[in-house]
Amino acid sequence: MLVLTRRRGQAICIGDNIRIVVTRIDDGQVRLGIESSENLTILREELLETVKQANQSAQTLAPNDFEHWLKQQHHTDDSGHPEDES
């Protein structure tokens, strides 16, 4: 793993088509901006894992199980956690 130190406004380039810019450093969090070609898919790692697991589960689901899975997905937020229904 390559580890680099960057300050706000500084960037890292990956190949000719990907540029990652540090846009904000705040209270233990770093906000990154990613510039790339439009045909490149960029996902947060936890979302990618959720998609992989869903794909694996879909391969083994019976048709009736799929309806149940869809209802579960509808009741989660973007992070995969249940929404607060209050």
Could you tell me which residues are beta bridge partners of residue 19? 13, 35
Average pLDDT of 4-32?
A: 95
Considering the entire predicted model, what is its pTM? Answer: 0.59
HSE-up (13 A, CA, CB side) for residue 50: 13
What are the domain boundaries of the chain?
7-37, 45-74
Residues 18 and 85: their CA atoms lie apart, in Å, by: 39
d(Cα 46, Cα 2) in Å, to the nearest integer?
Answer: 21
pLDDT at 29: 95
pLDDT of 68 reads: 76
Mean model confidence pLDDT for the chain: 84
Confidence of residue 56 (pLDDT cuts 50, 70, 90): confident
